């Protein structure tokens, strides 16, 4: 792995992004929004979020920090989960350092609320200023001869805003977990239809394979503890983490290349998108080994921007011995 791929340099970078491409066509979305009165409270929340998405970006960042502090006070159970994850993953840090990291993480979560709103329903013009892109040549090389590309990232707080920015440059389709609430599902798909090349529900393996075989690009994040599906325990921060073998399986099924996608918000408020060189000799005959390679790459990304990884998720919910690291106290 090149040294530059493993480092979240928060200083200056060499390459600024090309102008937004004109050949990318968003996918068609003409579903009728659910209008039943039982959805009206959700619509009010969506409307409020869409309005907040139009506030000035500098104000949103300030409000996001305050919102993060409020979330830490109100989402106490998630705070305990995040604290437990940080204790497992960063045993070299003392309590004071981990608590400081936890505070920064919740600040990033608060800012992410506004980032999500901007990505779905607002303007990303402020985010395009200062945007830095590296490794675009790796995407171009992977797409040689019409080959599809699986663009793999992890669950970071900048996930949605950076996917929106990346879609200005490459025609990314996404794989996602459908929302159980119909109004939210409609609103999010409507928002993503403004920029994504397509959206596939996580169970739509046939549609995803067809897209990749046609030379398409698919972005997704396979790093959360799965409730079902073909999975294996692989190391993540030195801990056994149950992980889907879907990257290995999709690559075997479609013949697609696999490129890791690192993204983060820098200390100066700008964003960096970094595409790594495609994995060599992937997929192999060993699904567990391939999955370990993918999860190790996501760990490298998380170490580079630890405040922006989604620590509130119960990443180690399932253990090989059946024990739980998350008791009611954390």
Domain span holding position 291: 3-7+36-308
What's the confidence (pLDDT) of residue 323?
84
Query: Could you tell me if residue 19 is inside a domain?
Result: no
Query: Could you tell me if residue 29 is inside a domain?
Result: no
Query: Could you tell me if residue 329 is inside a domain?
Result: no
Query: Could you tell me if residue 25 is inside a domain?
Result: no
What's the confidence (pLDDT) of residue 24?
37
Query: Could you tell me if residue 199 is inside a domain?
Result: yes
Calculate what percentage of the chain has a pLDDT beyond 90. Answer: 78
Q: How confident is the model at residue 13 (pLDDT cuts 50, 70, 90)?
A: very low
Q: pTM for this structure?
A: 0.89
What's the confidence (pLDDT) of residue 16?
53
Calculate what percentage of the chain has a pLDDT beyond 70. Answer: 91
How many domains in the chain?
A: 1
How many H helices and E strands in the chain? Answer: 11, 9
What's the confidence (pLDDT) of residue 31?
80
Name the phi and psi angles at 125, rounded to 5.
Answer: -60, -40
Query: String of b and e for 103-135 (b: at least 16 CB within 10 Å)?
Result: eebbbbbbbbbbbbbbbbbbebebbbeebbbbb
Cα separation, 94 vs 91, whole angstroms: 8
Q: Give tens-digit pLDDT for 140-154.
A: 999 998 999 999 999
Helices (H), 122-181: 125-128, 136-142, 159-166
Of 8 and 32, which is predicted with more confidence? 32
Query: Could you tell me if residue 18 is inside a domain?
Result: no
| Bridging pattern class, strands 132-134 and 271-275 | parallel
- Average predicted confidence (pLDDT) for the chain: 90
Q: Give tens-digit pLDDT for 275-293.
A: 999 999 999 999 999 999 9
Q: Which of 49-53, 63-67, 187-191 has the highest mean pLDDT?
A: 63-67
What's the confidence (pLDDT) of residue 177?
87
Beta bridge partners of 132: 272
Query: Could you tell me if residue 73 is inside a domain?
Result: yes
DSSP-based three-state secondary structure for 183: helix
Q: Is 146 left (phi over 0), alpha (psi -120 to 50) or beta?
A: left
128-137, 224-233, 249-258: segment of lowest average pLDDT? 224-233
Query: Could you tell me if residue 302 is inside a domain?
Result: yes
Cα separation, 26 vs 182, whole angstroms: 21
The residue-averaged pLDDT of 94-117 equals 97
Q: What is the CATH number of the domain that holds 258?
A: 3.40.1130
What's the confidence (pLDDT) of residue 15?
55
Q: How confident is the model at residue 21 (pLDDT cuts 50, 70, 90)?
A: very low
What's the confidence (pLDDT) of residue 226?
85
């Amino acid at each position: 792995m090149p040294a530059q791929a493993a480092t979240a340099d928060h200083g200056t970078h060499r390459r600024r992004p090309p102008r937004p491409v004109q050949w990318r066509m968003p996918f068609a979305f003409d579903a009728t929004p659910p209008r039943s009165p039982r959805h009206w409270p959700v619509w009010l929340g969506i409307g409020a979020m869409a309005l907040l998405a139009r506030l000035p970006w500098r104000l949103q960042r300030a409000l996001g920090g305050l919102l993060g502090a409020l979330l830490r006070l109100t989402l106490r159970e998630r705070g305990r989960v995040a604290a437990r994850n940080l204790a497992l993953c960063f045993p070299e840090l003392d309590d004071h350092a981990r608590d400081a990291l936890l505070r920064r993480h919740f600040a990033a979560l608060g800012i992410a609320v506004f980032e999500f709103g901007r990505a779905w329903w607002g303007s990303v013009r402020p985010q395009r200023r200062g945007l830095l892109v590296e490794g675009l040549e790796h995407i171009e090389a992977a797409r040689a001869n019409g080959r599809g590309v699986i663009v793999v990232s992890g669950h970071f707080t900048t996930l949605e805003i950076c996917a929106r920015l990346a879609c200005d440059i490459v025609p990314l389709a996404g794989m996602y977990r459908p929302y159980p609430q119909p109004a939210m599902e409609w609103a999010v798909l409507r928002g993503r239809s403004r920029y994504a090349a397509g959206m596939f529900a996580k169970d739509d393996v046939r549609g995803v394979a067809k897209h990749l075989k046609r030379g398409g690009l698919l972005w997704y994040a396979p790093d959360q503890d799965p409730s079902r599906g073909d999975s294996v325990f692989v190391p993540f921060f030195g801990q056994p983490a149950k992980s889907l073998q879907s990257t290995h399986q999709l690559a075997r099924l479609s013949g697609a290349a696999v490129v890791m996608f690192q993204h983060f918000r820098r200390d100066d408020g700008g964003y960096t998108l970094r595409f790594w060189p495609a994995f060599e000799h992937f997929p192999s005959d060993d699904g567990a080994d391939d999955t370990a390679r993918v999860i190790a790459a996501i760990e490298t990304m998380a170490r580079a921007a630890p405040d922006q990884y989604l620590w509130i998720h119960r990443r180690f919910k399932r253990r090989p011995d059946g024990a739980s690291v998350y008791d009611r106290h954390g």
